[in-house]
Amino acid sequence: MTITMQSYALTWTDADGVPRASAVSYDQKSAEHRKSELEKAHATDIEILPIKPGELPEPKA
């Protein structure tokens, strides 16, 4: 049986209105933890995105 690891990245808009994207990948639990940290920092439009190995998202335009 093969176990497949799913990685995630985040995109968000920071408190100053600047679109951002994570520069690292996370497992699901870590991505959810990072999302809660961003919410505490007043970031908006936070999305957790499934990604493939070696892939990272671009900040929203």
Which pLDDT score, from 0 to 100, does residue 60 have? 85
Please return the burial class of 36, using the count of CB atoms within 10 Å of its CB with bins 0-12, 13-18 and 19+: exposed
At 41 the three-state DSSP class reads coil
Q: Is residue 56 part of a domain?
A: no
State the chain's maximal CA–CA distance in angstroms.
47
Residue 20's domain comprises 7-51
Give the tens place of pLDDT for each residue, 9-51. 999 999 999 999 999 999 999 999 999 999 999 999 999 999 9
Q: Is residue 23 part of a domain?
A: yes
Q: Is residue 2 part of a domain?
A: no
Which pLDDT score, from 0 to 100, does residue 30 have? 98
- What's the pTM? 0.88
Model confidence at 1: pLDDT above 80 = no
Q: Is residue 38 part of a domain?
A: yes
- The count of domains in the chain is 1
Q: Is residue 39 part of a domain?
A: yes
Q: Is residue 26 part of a domain?
A: yes
Q: What is the mean pLDDT of residues 50-57?
A: 92
